Structure 1
Amino acid sequence: MAVSDLIQQARARFGQASSVLLRADQPTGEKPWEMFVTDEHTEHYLALKAGGDTDRGMITGVLGGSGVMLFVVVIFIAFFAQRWDLVPSMLWICIPMLLIPFYWETRRPLPLPILFNRRTREVYFDQDGLLFHTPWDGIQALAGEFLMVGPHTGGMRNASLEILVRRLGEPDNALLVSLGPPMGKTLQMQKGFWEWLRAYMDNGPWFDENGQRSDSDAYVKEMLSAHMKPTGFLAYQRQRIAEKKAANDGKNYLEWTDTVLYLGHLLFYPMDWLQEFTYNVAKRRSRNRWPRIVTERLQSDGPTTRLIDLERERGLDV
């Protein structure tokens, strides 16, 4: 397929800076690398965060978590001072602190992710309720570097990775979709992420550090484990303390930083848990916004026909 005018125009933006066209069947020479934008990584599809509202649930976490901790403090005060009359009045404060932001944040839809459907070998993207797609085989992608200059940071190189998608039913209506924010990334890193996508589409979650087919998904799990959620820091700190104790023959040689970090993570755990829970609820509600033509193709027993094939059956020039 010839490079589209849209790709040419996008490439012109980089000027003399490095840019490269990427194909599904052409390796870049880099090792596969995940760029911390994966939302779901399953056997049948891969979902990438489309950006926007990544901090969803934070308001609920801060207000609701503060309300929970405040209520616990009041319980202690009521127990030692025998002032149980404080508990009902405090409930009238703490419950709205939790429920009002939770209701507000879960009722607003999250941006739908960019879906890579391995079963049908195609990509889906939603823009304000309009469905865009492209077949993986023959996909057009562009990675390029650009320089940002700031008064405090100086010159900072960044690299973007974009794919070309077309609106369902209107093949001439095309746009470039960025696969994650470009800030702080290099062209080499974006090529590595492209290899991650290539390895997934060819092998599912079973590939090694070279992108080759593997009987195990250990490498994929190792890479995705770097996505440590805020609630995971408490368990991680507990594990580090246990490892220090084991390394010192059972003697617990703790540093003051270990205690501070552990207590800090313990203090903020209710807030972190509420934030993650709110985000997950909002994400589950948002999934219903995908049209049936997409959701049925994400199922293990769903149709395997590509959307581009359905367009060709209608006589559209794609």
Structure 2
Amino acid sequence: MVATGASRVVHVRAPGKINVFMKVGVLMDDGYHDVATAYQAISLYEEVYARPADDFSVTFSGSIDASGLATDGTNLAIRAARLLARVADYRGGVHLDIEKNVPIAGGMGGGSADAAATLLACDHLWGTGLGREELHSLAAELGADVPFALMGGTAVGTGRGDALSPALAQGTFHWVLALAESGLSTPEVYAELDRHRERHVHDIAPAPEQPTVDIEVLQALRAGDPHQLAEYLHNDLQAPALHLEPALARTLEAGEKAGALAGIVSGSGPTVAFLAADADAALELQVELSAGRHTVIRATGPVHGARVAAG
């Protein structure tokens, strides 16, 4: 919403994500990997409130402890605002209040959602009128998951994950997310994947030059069939995440024993996403895991990408 006068504020809501499928290609000369992933935006949102200011600043609140997050120019949301200001030749600044609900360093794209929401909020606040296509181009400069946080829904990501193609998904998928007490560094997980592949070079298939999303995953999403999708959940980053955080194996086992159709480490982890058959099964799974002293949240997908909130 945009109000007039000194109190004007734009509120944008952007979703976290689950990677229901992820293949990682070979380590390239530039130190990066191409990926092929199936993203699903879920009903766990970052709330960003943008207000006019002379400079660029950010404060945090919400259900997630953000005390360890940077609030200077290295913060991804601040970088997003500065990038938009530079491209639009806007001479003012912005103050961002971010209500965090997506786990930090949890493999669910919370920081990317903040950046996507900031781009959209500042575009509205400043009246830059860049449009979605140009905002997506700026999002890709900020990080691989930022364009998807703008787009939302269900999509296939290739390249760094930022070359997006919408994917049809029928119905609603029900997820129970088991949150870890600490995060995992995405670069560390990728580095561990490279070491894992070196250690097991004779035991596992070689990394693909150009990874692709398995057709069975897209068929399951199109059918809206959680049982079918459960058979094809896959993440190349799961093994290295488990090596770095062995307790995740016990979390996966606990969820599957408690009735999940399947569990998967989301992205680079350490959040574990469990797929449930329906809303009732998700509630039962949440109760069972909570009784086992796991911190869990229920969510559904797919949902819209970043949107200006009304009211």
TM superposition score normalised by structure 1? 0.25
Q: Which one has the bigger helix percentage?
A: 1
TM superposition score normalised by structure 2? 0.25
